[in-house]
Structure 1
Amino acid sequence: MKKKKDLVNETTSDLPGLRGLSETFLRKFRNISFILGLVPIGVLYLVCLGVSLSPGIYIFGWASEYVAGLSLWQQSIAYGFAIAAGYIAYIFCLILVVPLVNFLMPFRLKPARGNWYSLHSIPWYYHNALVQLVRYTVLDLVTPTPINMMFFRMMGMKMGKGCIVNTSNISDPALIELGDFVTIGGSATLFAHYGMDGYLIIDKLKIGSHTTIGLKASVMGNVEIGSHCTVGPHVVLLPKTRLADGEKVLK
């Protein structure tokens, strides 16, 4: 059996065939592999942003033709409304386009554990790259509304009825499960992964019905919270935490 240190620093793969060759290349040429991995993300970003910006450009072009004969102040007002309408269209388009691209990806995020430079880390990397594109551009503008919850559902999050998600600080939504009437407080952080000792561990995060996660609390991967629980503001629930039904963690 390989020692833990050997597993972290290994430069070969036990996977068969082409998968093994790919993972070996990933581990032997880490910097090159990382750069190559960014290229598809750049292409995906171009597609998502280009498609999402198109309606706004169309609106501006239409307005330009419509007000061509008006005075400068009238054109300025029309252009202002056109840009504002285009930005709103961009918000809604991006929230719809990114989940579609995520759905069309050839691989799915699954629980896994191992070296950071492993094939199982690639779905995690790309899934979260798409999530962050929306999170750091437009998601805070529609949080908390049914729109941000719709986005997370389309990205794979399982969410029961009556939930309120007052945060955009969510990673790995495809591995997060919320029961009915769950409340996620403002700026709370939810993510279904963690790293330690050179390992990347990807594991599910489950929150039971009627549970409240407080302001700026952090809940990590491999955590299971029962129903009717309360997690106080700024509390951190580390991996492998298990809360029984009705349990309260306030500090």
Structure 2
Amino acid sequence: MVNLNEVSLFAGAILLYIIGSFIIAISLIPSYFLFMQFLKTGNLFLILFGFAFSYFVFGIVLMFVVALVVRLFRIRLMPGTYKIGGKESLIWLLNAGFISLVRFLFLPFTRSSINIFFYRLLGAKIGKNVIINTTCVYDAHLLEIGDNSVIGGDAAIIGHSAEGNKLIVAPVKIGKNVSIGQYTTVLPGAVIEDGAIIGAMSLIPKFKRVKKGVWGGVPIRRIK
């Protein structure tokens, strides 16, 4: 018997590959013509510099193209509970897939300021003097971070959770002067209040409210 959920997800994956290929191709066009100009010089140094610079241009263009596609066609889910295999899960799949193009092809080689710029393009509300040392930010349009907060290396900020045949989507709110240690996972619906300090490799469960203080563990508990 045909499983409609599996068929829907398979069709979504095919659509993702097709549109994703077009996005990459479009983003490569400016870089291609730019690199060809460096190649014509015949100077090895300029060619190598041109390759690196063209790659950077590709990444910047890719960020804008992905953000434009996601926002123009509203390929993102609002908070709620959805059925996996329905049209909403297809929208989420496309959103995650398109953003992953930037996440894997460009963000690992950039500084925090460029990461933040991309997340803002996607709709994230990020305050001043924020540092984000991770590319593992999912559902960025549902993310809010206050001033002077730091997200440690390889921490995961996740606005969705797949449970059985349900997809739960909820915002993540991080206050001001918050420090989240490296490899920590923050799940959907979490609220981290101003001044909270989260130790490395911790787990903040769904819809958990973390007050000011020092926290750590799996799941997190108050240390002091």
TM-score after normalising by structure 1: 0.79
**Cα distance, 1:218–1:106 mapped onto 2, change above 3 Å:** closer
Where does 1:200-215 land on structure 2 (aligned, <5 Å)? 200-215=167-182
Q: Is the Cα contact below 8 Å between 1:212 and 1:231 reproduced in 2?
A: yes
Q: Distance in 2 between matches of 1:213 and 1:64?
A: 45
- Matching of residues 33-112 of structure 1 within 5 Å: 33-67=8-42, 74=43, 76-112=44-80
Q: Secondary structure at the match of 1:134?
A: helix
> Does the Cα contact within 8 Å between 1:192 and 1:222 map onto a contact in 2?
yes
How many aligned residue pairs are there?
Answer: 216
**What amino acid does structure 2 have at the position aligned with 1:29?**
L
Cα distance in 1 between the residues matched to 2:14 and 2:125: 30
Q: CA deviation at 1:205?
A: 0.8
Moved over 3 A (4+): 63-67, 76-79
1:242 and 2:217 matched: no
For 1:89, give the aligned amino acid: V
Report if the CA contact (8 A) 2:8-2:85 is conserved.
no
For 2:34, the aligned partner's letter is I
Equivalent AA in structure 2 for residue 157 of structure 1: A
Partner amino acid for 1:32?
V
Distance 2:190 2:39 in 1: 54
Aligned-residue CA RMSD (Å) = 1.9
SS of residue paired to 1:113: strand
Q: In terms of Rg, which structure is larger?
A: 1
Query: Which 5+ residue runs of structure 1 have no aligned equivalent?
Result: 1-26, 68-73
Deviates more, 1:220-229 or 1:107-116: 107-116
State the 1:189 CA deviation: 0.6
The aligned counterpart of 2:151 is 184
1:196 paired with 2:163, answer yes
Number of the residue aligned with 1:163: 130
Flag structure 2 segments of 5+ consecutive residues without an equivalent.
218-224
User: In the aligned structure 1, how far is the partner of 2:46 from the partner of 2:29?
Assistant: 18
SS at match of 1:206: strand
* 2:18 partner amino acid: V
Partner in structure 1 of residue 5 of structure 2: 30
Q: Show CA shifts across 1:149-178 (max 9, x none).
A: 000010111111121111101111011111
- Cα pair 1:109 1:175 within 8 Å, conserved: no
Tell me: CA distance 1:243–1:63, structure 2 relative to 1, closer, same or farther (3 Å). Answer: closer
SS at match of 2:207: coil
Q: Identity percentage over the alignment?
A: 26
User: Could you tell me how far apart the structure 1 residues matched to 2:187 and 2:148 are?
Assistant: 20
Aligned partner of 1:223 in structure 2 is 190
Change in 2 beyond 3 A, CA 1:35/1:213: same
- Tell me, yes or no, if structure 1 residue 134 matches structure 2 residue 102: yes
* Equivalent residue, structure 2, for 1:119: 87
Q: State the alpha-carbon separation in 2 of the partners of residues 166 and 143 from structure 1.
A: 8
Secondary structure at the counterpart of residue 161 of structure 2 = strand
Report the TM-score when normalising by structure 2. 0.88
